[in-house]
Structure 1
Amino acid sequence: MPHIQIDYSPNLENRLDVAGLCRVLRDAAVETGVLPLAGIRVRAIRADHVVIADGNPDHAFLDIVLRLRGGRSDEAKARATELIFAAAEDYCREVMETSSFMLSMELRDIDPRFSPKASSIRKYLPGEPA
């Protein structure tokens, strides 16, 4: 059930292919080896109303939240955080080098007792057990 949510400032859309970032983060999540493809959901939400630092409208931000269902080791969570953030940093490198930009990420554990799930997606993914 790994969810990756990206919140970003609206002025980032003319500096970065946000849909492309979604694909890159999905691929990085799979490459961690600890997040199953069938459970990954990546979404990006533009924050239309923002004030960043001193209010300069040229400032931009992108914040990534990785939500994981509990049960993974600290090592697995650290690996996932490190690899996904590295992919985001690499993808956003030009924006960071050429403009005022903040990039952040946080991993959140979800207690499975309070997070019921239902899905039929595995039936539609080649090579996945149903």
Structure 2
Amino acid sequence: MPHIVIEYSANLEDEVRPMRLVEALHAAALETGVFPLAGLRTRAARRDLYLVADGDPENAFIAVSVRIGEGRDAATRRRVAEALMAVLERETAETFQRRGLALSVDVAEIDGTASLKTNNLHERLKARAKP
């Protein structure tokens, strides 16, 4: 299960479509082969209050935080981060050429000690897949 949270500065909405980022990063995470479909959650959060670097109002940011279950080695976590960064860079290439833009991807393991989950998505997806 990864939870992918895309935070972005509000000044990007006219140039970068948030739902397009959600779809592209969701697909990229699946394409890595590391995560099951039923475990994947991707969402975006617009940030209206922010300062980037020197405070120039043209500066913008997109920060992608990925929280994954325990057990993936460092090489796998790095591969996921690189795959997501490649998509993020592709999706923002034009904007990157025109303004100050800080992009980041951080993949971190969730400490399972106090991380509780209940869902029925795995079963529902299996049931849908049967003819």
Aligned residue number for residue 17 of structure 1: 17
Aligned residue number for residue 127 of structure 1: 129
Letter in 2 for 1:41: R
> Could you tell me the percent identity over the aligned residues?
38
1:25-83 Cα distance to aligned partner (Å, 9 max, x none): 00000011111111111111111111111111111110000101111121211111111
Letter in 2 for 1:102: A
1:79-98 maps to which residues of 2 (within 5 A)? 79-98=79-98
Aligned-CA RMSD value: 1.3
Tell me the CA shift for residue 124 of structure 1: 2.6
Unpaired segments ≥5 residues, structure 2: none
1:58-110 Cα distance to aligned partner (Å, 9 max, x none): 11110000101111121211111111111111111111112221111111111
| Whole-Å separation in 1 of the counterparts to 2:57 and 2:13 | 13
1:1-130 maps to which residues of 2 (within 5 A)? 1-125=1-125, 126-127=128-129
Per the normalisation by structure 1, the TM-score is 0.92
Per the normalisation by structure 2, the TM-score is 0.92
* 2:33 partner SS: coil
* 1:58 partner SS: coil
| Whole-Å separation in 2 of the counterparts to 1:121 and 1:87 | 26
Length, aligned pairs only: 128
